């Protein structure tokens, strides 16, 4: 049986995710996913795991539906609590690059800025997308009007257990799904079957606009120990290439602009292949 085995929400881009049993669906991703991003004040650029793998030292958990707690394992910092949906601030807005997109952001909380600056070791700000700003998903894959928050480019990222097991079979140093940072982990499909899918349905909701997810060195970072697994990229370069890029998992959009639906761990899913259309 094909089912959802894990759901992961990442409230802050490039930080650890939080595994949950169910999640609300929106057109821009799971509710509370990638609501925030960290910005390097010195260079006015987004902060990512590529440059700061120590971000994995910060552990997140939900205290309530809209409140997260952050703890820094390596520094003696008091826990930080963030209300994900408190009233919009009136701070000024400015433009930051999120890969190829120019995104309007605003700072959110001075206390949080100080906490993250100490945790990471550089002066940074926690930002949210400016009210009313819309970031379009790549029109080569998605329809006009499909938006995304601070994810790399798509609202949802889907991986499968069987493809992960197949990869690990060839690796001496095994990896986990957290190396690949998906929102949805599926089980019951054939290895790498997902690259033939045109769309899937979970709990009656359709995920489509699939694009194989191109991968970088971030997948080499062990989320628990922050050490590099130098074995994974050379192996994937041989066996997981498409258009000269290493790929693993599927970027996806939600077909409808759903704001009230949800999916949960254990939900069955149906896959629909391109060749069957």
Q: What is the pLDDT of residues 83-115, one digit of tens each?
A: 998 866 678 899 999 999 999 999 988 999 999
What one-character DSSP code corresponds to residue 87? P
Return the percentage of the chain with pLDDT > 90, whole number.
86
- 149 and 261, same domain (yes or no): yes
In this predicted structure, the answer to whether residue 220 has a pLDDT above a threshold of 70 is yes
Q: What is the pLDDT of residues 141-160, one digit of tens each?
A: 999 999 999 999 999 999 99
156-160 vs 184-187, strand pairing mode = parallel
- 114 and 145, same domain (yes or no): no
Res. 267 pLDDT band, cuts 50 70 90? very high
Q: Which of 100, 129, 158 marks a domain boundary?
A: 129
In this predicted structure, the answer to whether residue 195 has a pLDDT above a threshold of 60 is yes
In this predicted structure, the answer to whether residue 276 has a pLDDT above a threshold of 60 is no
Give the whole-angstrom CA distance, residue 252 versus residue 153. 9
- 63 and 170, same domain (yes or no): no
Q: Which of 129, 151, 177 marks a domain boundary?
A: 129
What one-character DSSP code corresponds to residue 172? S
Q: What is the pLDDT of residues 39-72, one digit of tens each?
A: 999 999 999 999 999 999 999 999 998 999 999 9
Number of domains observed in the structure of the chain: 2
Give the pLDDT of residue 65.
86
pTM for this predicted structure: 0.95
Q: Which of 103, 129, 155 marks a domain boundary?
A: 129
Domain that holds residue 105: 36-129
Give the pLDDT of residue 92.
87
- 48 and 181, same domain (yes or no): no
In this predicted structure, the answer to whether residue 134 has a pLDDT above a threshold of 60 is yes
Long-range pairs of 139-148 with CB within 8 A, sequence gap ≥ 24: 141/209, 141/210, 141/211, 141/251, 141/253, 142/209, 142/253, 143/209, 145/257, 146/27, 146/209, 146/253, 147/27, 147/28, 148/28, 148/29
For residues 18 and 8, the answer to whether their CB atoms sit within 8 Å is yes
Average pLDDT over residues 228-253: 92
- 165 and 229, same domain (yes or no): yes
For residues 214 and 237, the answer to whether their CB atoms sit within 8 Å is no
- CB neighbourhood size of 155 (10 A): 26
| CATH number for the domain that contains residue 215 | 2.40.33.20
For residues 163 and 175, the answer to whether their CB atoms sit within 8 Å is no
């Amino acid at each position: 049986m094909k089912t959802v085995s894990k759901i992961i929400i990442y409230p802050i881009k490039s930080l650890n995710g939080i595994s949950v049993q169910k999640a609300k669906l929106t057109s821009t991703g799971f509710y509370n996913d990638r609501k925030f991003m960290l910005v390097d004040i010195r260079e006015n650029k987004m902060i990512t795991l590529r440059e700061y793998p120590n971000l994995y030292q910060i552990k997140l958990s939900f205290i309530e539906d809209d409140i997260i707690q952050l703890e820094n394992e390596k520094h003696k910092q008091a826990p930080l609590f963030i209300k994900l949906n408190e009233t919009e601030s009136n701070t000024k807005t400015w433009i930051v690059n999120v890969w190829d997109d120019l995104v309007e952001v605003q700072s959110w909380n001075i206390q949080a800025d100080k906490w993250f600056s100490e945790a990471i070791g550089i002066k940074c700000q926690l930002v949210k997308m400016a009210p009313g700003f819309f970031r379009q998903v790549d029109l080569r894959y998605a329809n006009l009007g499909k938006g995304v928050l601070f994810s790399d480019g798509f609202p949802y990222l889907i991986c499968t257990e069987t493809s992960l097991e197949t990869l690990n079979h060839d690796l001496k140093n095994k990896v986990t799904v957290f190396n690949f940072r998906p929102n949805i982990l599926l089980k019951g499909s054939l290895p790498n079957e997902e690259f033939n899918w045109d769309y899937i349905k979970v709990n009656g909701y359709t995920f489509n606009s699939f694009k194989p997810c191109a991968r970088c060195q971030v997948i080499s970072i062990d989320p628990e120990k922050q050490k590099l697994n130098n074995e994974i990229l050379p192996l994937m370069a041989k066996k997981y290439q498409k258009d000269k890029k290493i790929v693993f998992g599927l970027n996806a959009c939600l077909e409808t602009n759903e704001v009230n639906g949800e999916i949960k761990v254990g939900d069955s899913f149906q896959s629909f292949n391109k060749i069957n259309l």
